[in-house]
Amino acid sequence: MKKILFVPAVALGIFFASCGGGSESTEAETTTTEAPAATESSSSVSGIPGIEDEPVTSTIDLTGNDQMQFNKTLFRVKAGEEITLHLKNIGTLPAAAMSHNAVVLLPGTDVQKFGEAAVTAKDSEHIPQDMLGDVVAHTKMLGPGEEDTIKFKLDEAGVYDFVCTFPGHFGTMRGKIVAE
């Protein structure tokens, strides 16, 4: 008999608890829905996680290492201003095995297709000549300890991918420059 009364009492308690929770859940959902809209409107480029935390810069300092990584993968710049990009290969492996460059691509460029085409473009430092129209700027291909500095402008606001085009590197050695 005690079990028969206990089950309905527990069910009734759960029912009342869930009714009260529904009201709080609606408020939480409203808050959650409003927060992303505020974030998107405060950032000139949405969809790039962490961009709001990046300071606007005109100097991009990159290093490439023997683990096929750039030291930094996100930059924020002003559209139309001159940008200085400095790349240094801090690796120690021989150039034939582990060279690096930085190639800045126009927004909308198919990075996968570009990277695949770069594999066979050895004579042009792995910059596919039939896709030069997609390239904003690029450094030289650098062996261990070498460095290069280039200057360029990103005339229009947008998201510009940058990659290393040494064979096999574009999959992990890539980043974004957001021009506002």
Instruction: Reply yes or no on whether the pLDDT at 117 is more than 50.
Output: yes
Spatial strand order in the sheet of 82-89: 59-64, 82-89, 147-153
Count of structural domains within the chain: 2
pTM of the model: 0.75
Q: Cα separation of 127 and 119, whole Å?
A: 9
Residues 15 and 67 in one domain: no
Residue 45's alpha-carbon distances to 57, 79, 105, in angstroms, are 16, 12, 17
Q: How confident is the model at residue 67 (pLDDT cuts 50, 70, 90)?
A: very high
Instruction: Reply yes or no on whether the pLDDT at 78 is more than 70.
Output: yes
Residues 159 and 71 in one domain: yes
Residues 36 and 109 in one domain: no
Once rounded to an integer, what is the mean pLDDT over residues 26-45?
A: 36
Residues 104 and 17 in one domain: no
Residues 25 and 79 in one domain: no
**Pairwise pLDDT comparison (44 vs 49), residue with the higher score:** 49
Domain enclosing residue 150, as ranges: 51-179
CB 64 within 8 A of CB 145: no
Tell me, what's the pLDDT at 47?
Answer: 79
Instruction: Reply yes or no on whether the pLDDT at 131 is more than 50.
Output: yes
| Amino acid type, 63 | T
Tell me, what's the pLDDT at 134?
Answer: 98
Once rounded to an integer, what is the mean pLDDT over residues 63-78?
A: 98
